[in-house]
Amino acid sequence: MTQNLTILGSTGTIGINTLDVVARHPDRYRVFALTGHGQIDALAGQCRQFLPQYAVVPDQERAARLADLLTGLDIRILTGVSGLEQVAADPAVDSVMCAIVGAAGLAPALAAARAGKRILLANKETLVMAGHLFMQAVADGGATLLPIDSEHNAIFQSLPANYSGEPHRSGVRRIWLTASGGPFRNRPVEELPAVTPEEACAHPNWVMGRKISVDSATMMNKGLEVIEARWLFDVAAEQIEVVIHPQSVIHSMVDYLDGSVIAELGNPDMRTPIAHALAWPERIASGVSPLDLVGKNLTFEQPDLQRFPCLALAFEALAEGGMFATALNAANEEAVAAFLDRQIRFDQIASVNAEVMRCAARTPARDLDDLIEADRQARRQAGERIQLLSRPT
């Protein structure tokens, strides 16, 4: 039976890889909607190839440009958050790939959850910002939630098939999230203030967008994944450990009470978790080369929190609760953007994040409006701090 698929963020790395897998199985998947932000030419090319019923862009100006590029094709063009929510919740849609980067992906992901869709979640900020609210929406809407991050997908595959969020009853002792360590794993700490955006975006193993590449370099991505894992698998912070595994062959592991450790291994290619989630519980070809372990040395290290203070901040946010994770995520988005724009140094990303996070409310959000306001305040505070740091001395 053919699945109708909406891809939120189709012009990003996850979206492109999703379409690569979909193109290998035209009998299984039909693209219902594609959405993009700034890469209108790329979005138009995807629309011409996959002929979705809908395309969504941020505003009328980009909608007019896209319409010109799609002249003669019967594709409806929608705009803004309402357009994203519409194509995420449409009754004709079976599955939604949530791959919009950052806080902008929260509203359509919630719409998909409330509509009971099969959600392929690549937007970690949805759970970091709104873990309780989002998981409640998934439960209330009867949605199916499948993680796309390679680490969380690996954990999903390594847990019992009937796992229901009670780790002890399933014999789970702890979860190990593996991390590559990024491009600066061995760079002397005193040299980190001088690293450039180009160096930070040069990930040794994965091909990713600029924002997530910087998050990998600071290990904030791993910190966000710790918070995400807490909500996805209903485990306590003390049951989540991070280990640096530079080869990125073991994508994560589950340690059981009987001494067994079950891991998912594979070449570092996002098409593997995408194909797994698209076809689950079946398996389909992803286009990824088979793993050859002969001659490979797999090594593991403890993360150095002096080198990676953003990882420590994420554990602190998880322990404090309240709005700490929401504020941390918002501050980090602003700080990374400022670093990429050469307004602040690489090491100042962590200092902006820490200052903003510790001003956050200690009470949890009651609804989406609370989250939006907390996110807005944290971005304002981050902007003020960035402005001070970027002034010439």
Assign residue 60 the CATH number of its domain: 3.40.50.720
* Predicted local distance difference test score (pLDDT) of residue 125: 81
Distance (Å, rounded) from C-alpha 14 to C-alpha 21?
11
Q: Are 29 and 1 in contact (CB under 8 A)?
A: no
Q: How many angstroms separate the Cα of 319 from the Cα of each of 106, 226, 228, 286, 312?
A: 22, 11, 13, 38, 11
| β-bridge partners, 79 | 57
Q: What per-residue confidence (pLDDT) applies to 166?
A: 86
User: Residue 243 falls within a domain, yes or no?
Assistant: no
Task: Say what the pLDDT of residue 306 is.
Answer: 87
pLDDT for res 393:
53
Is residue 101 in a domain?
yes
Structural domain contains residue 81: yes
Residue 140 lies in a domain: yes
**Which pLDDT value is given to residue 186?**
87
| Residue owning tokens 């073991």 | 250
The whole-number pLDDT of residue 44 equals 97
Domain range for 9 is 3-147
Q: Is the dihedral of CA 117, 123, 129, 132 positive or negative?
A: positive
CB 302 within 8 A of CB 243: yes
CB 14 within 8 A of CB 148: yes
Preceding omega of 91 cis (within 30 degrees of 0)? no
Structure confidence at residue 173 (pLDDT): 96
pTM higher than the cut 0.85: yes
Number of structural domains the chain divides into: 1
Answer for the pair 283, 276: CB distance below 8 angstroms, yes or no: yes
Question: Does the residue 131 lie in any domain?
Answer: yes
What Å distances lie between residue 155 and 159, 231, 352, CA to CA?
6, 13, 31
Please indicate, yes or no, if residue 371 is contained in any of the structural domains: no
- The DSSP secondary-structure symbol of 301 reads B
Tens digits of per-residue pLDDT, 342-381?
999 999 999 999 999 999 988 888 888 888 899 999 999 9
Task: Write the Ramachandran bin of 9: left for phi over 0, alpha for psi from -120 to 50, otherwise beta.
Answer: left
The order of strands in the sheet holding 250-256 is 240-244, 172-179, 250-256, 261-265
Residue 392: per-residue pLDDT: 66
For residue 167, being part of any structural domain is answered with no
Ranges of residues in the chain whose predicted pLDDT is under 50? none
| Secondary structure letter of residue 90 according to DSSP | -
Is 321 contained in some domain? no
